[in-house]
């Protein structure tokens, strides 16, 4: 029928409330401080205390102590630097590579585009962890290998977005118009295509950061990341695993922190997405 | 808020129409507020509205869309509301069926529908009392349902039985051929005209006494528009009451008994159609009428507002009619064409780039035999077996405005793309300024690109959304402006400002973004940008189709000025014959990819040889009043 509805349906999609976004942003700020100035929030993560081994949470040790008597909270706070650094650098690698390859795929014709797109498909066919594991296996364990592995494994996501965005922008009238001013192809791409393709990337990167951090923790858990005694979250989970039945806090509390960080990043990322793009994913 | 700026057409208000206030419930109105014309009081009042205000609350100041209008619609009448975008005409119509919007605040001293005051059961009234026909049938019809189901739905809501027969009868009544088959089809399988008919059928389904048509023909081709207007006229003749909302005075003049002219939420003038159109009293109505481009307005300025560059007298003959006695010069030196090097847009070219050490560089077409700017020969474009453009030959000379007219799907935009050179033709060739243009690599075309500019229908999409007006225009300036000027930025921004002045815009727009501009301002910026590289030809693809008539008038005047002062040739593509007749020197009529007729515009329009041209011209709704 030609008539529109009286008013928009009053059923609203559930979205994070203002308070939730606020709390998430606060938690991220805390994590950032922990990563930059861990000494401000916690003591020495490596100070062992053989007299207080595997003690439960108390006023002195909020998160309890581990099998060597180290304060779990101190270790978690210091671990933020490892996790955030790995996550940020891996995401930067992924975004840069994704941008270049996506732009290349979007601007070239047929064969190059096909080849690139199919390789993105092949990469995303494997689960993130499995793929990263493969790269670490090739490059060897350690922080650098881990970062590169996660970067490559998350790249196709950005590359796909950039490629489809490039298709839209290069068809846009303003690019056609710019052709009429006799500008070179390189200039068109740098002045018009690239800046207009970039739009959704920062927000995607914030959400992707959580994914990268989770992958980093997972690989460290498997012993592919920073080696003990570094206070890396995944490594901590792995170390505490043997004591799970007697000292749950050595694994559960660091795990909760990782979960909260990833959720916070997602909540803030989605919020930014709504703010800047005005659409609901 | 209570001042209602109604200028009654009727010199003596009908005494019977006076006592709008007599039933006591309503705010008393003066005699001057009465808008009824004499006579129709014997007929039933379907709609009677007084002092209607519609406001949309908004964070940054409320939008007062309708500001105290009075409206009566009698049984059997055809009332038209005419106005430009933002005048409040559509809001008025939608308010009558309770569709002003969920956040609209509606106030009035009287709001009677079908002789009853509110509150109304809108669901029964919609379709039952008033059928609504909107502009774009493609979005107004559910794409997942057949049109038969669409119409049957209305019947079901209003509990009318015998649906199948009625659907068939309704489709027949709006002259849909082969109604049984069409009823089983989906909207996308129908042409624009058939869709609009189906929409009208669904609006008529429950037999409403009032039919509200909001821009019913605006999205349609002129021949289809003519058919739909015939259909509406037929319904009107059969006793249907019509409320017609339109921006197009010509459409209105063909149908309406009474016209109300709206502007900024007020009714500025109202009266019987013939009187109002032949002797408008309000200056806005006069402007509106004067702004309509047509054969009669040829050579005359349409707008009252002079543009900055209107230095030439009106009615100046086209430069093309007196071809320059040009020095015969080799026209086969395509690659040596240097870029335009002049900074100030209006100053005559001071040459720095010199070809063969003699001639000024910027006006190659001057030196070409007969000043041919672009010449297309045997142009053909096909996608697979589907031929979009077939054997088109086209020549544009220096300073000439050539109109290319045709309905949607006739291939006129494809011709523009082929001439612009981003789409290669399947066969045929284009020569630009005497040198080959098609068949070159883009790299070889690039040095000459600036000489050929493009203006599209939707300037908003033609601007990089992140750029300001200043930067958009500066991008189009030749690089040489910077090279020559030691104070680089100064020279550039001066040139941009000169261009803005030229199209009648102020420097205050420099830092604005395209989305912050009005439609007319955007199109002016697009023109300024097209002028920046000093082109010899501008291809204008429906440049005024999205504009209001008074803004369209200003833009058309501006384009005429540019041709007169610069000698820039224009290829003007439009579906609007009035616009073409007003502006163009020569015209080509296209249909299904073929040019069916071409020649000087007066010859073609006054003495059309091809039957399609004749049909096209007959279909144009003329203002049925001699001016």
Facing residue for B463 by CB, picked from A8, A174, A181: A174
Facing residue for A173 by CB, picked from B442, B462, B529: B462
Structure-block tokens of residue B406: 């045709």
CB contact under 8 A, B449 and A181: yes
Least confident range of A40-49, B157-166, B171-180, B277-286: A40-49
Q: pLDDT category, B267, cuts 50, 70, 90?
A: very high
pLDDT above 50: residue B388: yes
B308 interfacial to chain A (CB closer than 8 Å): no
Q: Which residues, in sequence order, are CB contacts of A196 under 8 Å at separation 6+?
A: A165, A169, A172, B464, B465, B466
Residues of A in contact with B473 (CB under 8 A): none
**Higher per-residue pLDDT: B69 or B352:** B69
Least confident range of B195-209, B245-259, B298-312, B323-337: B323-337
Q: What is the pTM of this model?
A: 0.73
pLDDT above 50: residue B619: yes
Q: pLDDT category, B490, cuts 50, 70, 90?
A: low
pLDDT above 50: residue B338: no
Least confident range of B119-128, B453-462, B520-529: B119-128
Least confident range of A38-52, A75-89, B96-110: A38-52
CB contact under 8 A, B449 and A172: no
For residues B486-501, average pLDDT: 74
Residues of B in contact with A171 (CB under 8 A): none
Q: How many residues does chain A have?
A: 281
pLDDT above 50: residue A11: no
CB contact under 8 A, B454 and A182: no
- From the CA of A198, how many Å to the nearest CA of chain B? 12
pLDDT given for residue B400 in this prediction? 92
Q: Which SS3 state, helix, strand or coil, does residue B114 take? A: coil
Model ipTM over 0.95: no
B142 interfacial to chain A (CB closer than 8 Å): yes
Q: Which residues, in sequence order, are CB contacts of A131 under 8 Å at separation 6+?
A: A123, A149, A152, A153
Facing residue for B475 by CB, picked from A178, A184, A185: A178
B98 interfacial to chain A (CB closer than 8 Å): yes
CB contact under 8 A, A195 and B449: no
pLDDT given for residue A15 in this prediction? 57
- The Cα A136–Cα A134 span in angstroms is 5
- The Cα B244–Cα A147 span in angstroms is 67
CB contact under 8 A, B127 and A7: no
B89 interfacial to chain A (CB closer than 8 Å): no
Residues of A in contact with B150 (CB under 8 A): 1
Residues of A in contact with B134 (CB under 8 A): 2
pLDDT above 90: residue B242: yes
B203 interfacial to chain A (CB closer than 8 Å): yes
For residues B203-227, average pLDDT: 87
Facing residue for B464 by CB, picked from A2, A8, A192: A192
pLDDT above 80: residue B109: yes
Q: Which residues, in sequence order, are CB contacts of B254 under 8 Å at separation 6+?
A: B229, B233, B621, B624
- From the CA of A107, how many Å to the nearest CA of chain B? 16
Q: Which residues pair with B397 in a beta bridge?
A: B372
Please provide residue B342's backbone torsions phi and psi, each rounded to the nearest 5 degrees. Answer: -90, 140
pLDDT above 90: residue B272: yes
Count H helices, E strands: chain A? 12, 0
pLDDT digits (tens, 9 = 90+) for B433-451: 888 998 888 888 888 898 9
Count Cβ neighbours within 10 Å for each residue of A244-253 and write b for 16 or more, e otherwise.
Answer: eeebebbbeb
Residues of B in contact with A179 (CB under 8 A): 422, 442, 449
**What is the sign, positive or negative, of the torsion defined by CA atoms of A8, A10, A12, A17?**
positive
Classify residue B383 by burial, with Cβ atoms within 10 Å: 0-12, 13-18, 19+: exposed
pLDDT above 50: residue B488: yes
Q: Which residues pair with A135 in a beta bridge?
A: none
- From the CA of B413, how many Å to the nearest CA of chain A? 14
B456 interfacial to chain A (CB closer than 8 Å): yes
B93 interfacial to chain A (CB closer than 8 Å): no
Q: pLDDT category, B491, cuts 50, 70, 90?
A: low
pLDDT given for residue A95 in this prediction? 95
pLDDT digits (tens, 9 = 90+) for A138-163: 877 778 888 888 898 899 999 999 99
pLDDT above 60: residue B383: yes
Q: Which residues, in sequence order, are CB contacts of A279 under 8 Å at separation 6+?
A: A273
pLDDT above 90 covers what percent of chain A? Answer: 18
Half-sphere exposure of A89 (CA within 13 A, CB side): 13
B340 interfacial to chain A (CB closer than 8 Å): no
CB contact under 8 A, A177 and B454: yes
Residues of A in CB contact (< 8 Å) with B are 1-4, 6-8, 172-174, 176-185, 191-192, 195-196
Per the CB < 8 A criterion, the answer to whether A83 and A212 are in contact is no
pLDDT above 50: residue B335: no
Per the CB < 8 A criterion, the answer to whether A221 and A141 are in contact is no
- From the CA of B601, how many Å to the nearest CA of chain A? 29
Per the CB < 8 A criterion, the answer to whether B537 and B451 are in contact is yes
Residues of B in contact with A196 (CB under 8 A): 464-466
pLDDT above 70 covers what percent of chain B? Answer: 79
pLDDT digits (tens, 9 = 90+) for B2-60: 444 444 443 433 434 333 333 333 333 333 344 444 444 557 888 999 999 999 888 77
């Amino acid at each position: 029928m030609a008539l529109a509805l009286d008013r928009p349906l009053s059923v609203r999609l559930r979205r994070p409330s203002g308070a939730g976004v606020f709390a998430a942003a606060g938690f991220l700020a805390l994590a950032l401080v922990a990563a930059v100035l861990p000494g401000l929030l916690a003591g020495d993560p490596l100070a062992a205390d053989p007299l207080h081994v595997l003690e439960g949470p108390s006023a002195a040790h909020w998160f309890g102590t581990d099998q060597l008597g180290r304060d779990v909270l101190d270790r978690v706070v210091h671990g933020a630097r490892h996790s955030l650094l790995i996550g940020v650098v891996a995401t930067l690698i992924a975004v840069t590579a994704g941008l270049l390859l996506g732009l290349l795929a979007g601007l070239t014709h047929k064969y190059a585009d096909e080849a690139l797109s199919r390789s993105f498909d092949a990469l995303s066919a494997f689960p993130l962890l499995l793929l990263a594991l493969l790269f670490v296996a090739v490059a060897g364990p350690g922080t650098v290998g881990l970062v590169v592995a996660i970067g490559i494994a998350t790249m196709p996501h950005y590359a796909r977005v950039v490629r489809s965005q490039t298709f839209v922008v290069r068809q846009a009238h303003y690019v056609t118009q710019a052709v009429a001013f006799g500008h070179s192809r390189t200039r068109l791409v740098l002045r018009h295509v690239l800046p207009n393709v970039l739009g959704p990337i920062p927000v995607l990167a914030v959400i992707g950061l959580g994914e990268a951090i989770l992958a980093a923790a997972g690989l460290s858990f498997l012993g592919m990341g920073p080696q003990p005694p570094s206070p890396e979250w995944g490594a901590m989970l792995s170390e505490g695993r043997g004591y799970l039945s007697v000292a749950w806090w050595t694994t559960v509390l660091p795990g909760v922190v990782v979960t909260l960080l990833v959720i916070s990043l997602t909540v803030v990322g989605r919020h930014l997405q709504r703010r800047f793009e005005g659409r609901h994913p | 808020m209570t001042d209602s700026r109604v200028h009654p057409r009727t010199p003596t208000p009908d005494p019977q129409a006076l006592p709008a206030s007599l039933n006591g419930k309503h705010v008393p109105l003066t005699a001057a507020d009465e808008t009824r014309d004499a006579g129709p009081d014997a007929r039933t009042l379907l709609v009677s509205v007084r002092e209607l205000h519609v406001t949309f609350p908004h964070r940054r100041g409320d939008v007062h869309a309708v500001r105290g209008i009075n409206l009566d619609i009698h049984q059997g009448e055809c009332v038209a509301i005419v106005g430009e975008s933002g005048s409040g005409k559509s809001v008025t119509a939608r308010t009558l069926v309770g569709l002003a919007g969920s956040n609209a605040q509606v106030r009035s001293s009287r709001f009677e529908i079908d002789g009853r005051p509110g509150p109304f059961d809108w669901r029964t009234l919609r379709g039952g009392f008033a059928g609504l026909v909107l502009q774009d049938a493609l979005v107004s019809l559910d794409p997942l349902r057949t049109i038969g189901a669409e119409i049957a739905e209305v019947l079901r809501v209003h509990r009318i039985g015998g649906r199948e027969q009625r659907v068939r009868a309704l489709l027949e009544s709006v002259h849909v051929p082969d109604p049984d088959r069409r009823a089983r089809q989906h909207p996308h399988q129908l042409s624009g005209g058939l869709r609009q008919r189906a929409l009208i059928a669904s609006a008529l389904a429950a037999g409403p006494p009032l039919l509200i048509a909001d821009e019913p023909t605006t999205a349609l081709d002129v021949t289809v528009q003519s058919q739909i207007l015939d259909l509406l006229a037929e319904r009107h003749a059969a006793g249907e009451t019509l409320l017609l909302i339109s921006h197009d005075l010509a459409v209105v003049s063909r149908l309406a008994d009474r016209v109300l002219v709206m502007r900024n939420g007020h009714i500025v003038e109202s009266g019987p159609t013939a009187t109002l159109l032949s002797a408008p009293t309000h200056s806005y109505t006069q402007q509106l009428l004067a702004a309509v481009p047509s054969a009669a307005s040829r050579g005359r300025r349409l707008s009252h507002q002079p543009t900055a560059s209107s230095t030439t007298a009106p009615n100046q003959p086209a430069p093309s009619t007196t071809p320059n006695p040009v020095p015969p010069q080799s026209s086969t030196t395509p690659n040596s064409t240097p870029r335009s090097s002049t900074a100030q847009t209006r100053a005559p070219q001071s040459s720095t780039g010199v070809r063969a050490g003699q001639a000024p560089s910027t006006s190659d077409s001057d030196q070409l035999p007969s000043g041919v700017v672009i010449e297309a020969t045997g142009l053909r474009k096909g996608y697979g077996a589907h031929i979009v453009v077939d054997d088109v030959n086209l020549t544009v000379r220096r300073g000439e405005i050539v109109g290319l007219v045709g309905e949607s799907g006739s291939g006129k935009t494809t011709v523009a793309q082929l001439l612009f050179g981003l789409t290669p033709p399947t066969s045929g060739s284009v020569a630009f300024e005497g040198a080959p243009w098609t068949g070159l690599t883009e790299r070889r075309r690039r040095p000459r690109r600036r000489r050929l500019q493009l203006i599209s229908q939707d300037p908003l999409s033609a601007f990089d959304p992140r750029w300001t007006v200043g930067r958009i225009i500066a991008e189009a300036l030749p690089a040489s402006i910077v090279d020559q000027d030691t104070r680089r930025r100064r020279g550039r921004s001066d040139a941009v400002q000169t261009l803005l002045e030229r199209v009648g815009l102020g420097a205050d727009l420099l830092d604005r973004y395209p989305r912050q501009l009005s439609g007319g301002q955007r199109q002016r910026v697009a023109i300024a940008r097209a002028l920046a590289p000093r082109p010899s030809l501008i291809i204008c693809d429906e440049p005024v189709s999205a504009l209001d008539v008074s803004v369209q008038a200003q833009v058309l005047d501006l384009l005429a000025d540019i041709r007169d002062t610069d000698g820039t040739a224009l290829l003007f593509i439009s579906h609007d014959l009035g616009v073409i007749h007003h502006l163009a020197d020569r015209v080509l009529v296209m249909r299904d990819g073929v040019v069916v007729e071409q020649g000087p515009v007066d010859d073609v329009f006054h003495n059309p040889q091809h039957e399609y041209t004749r049909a096209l011209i007959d279909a144009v709704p003329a203002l049925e009043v001699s001016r």
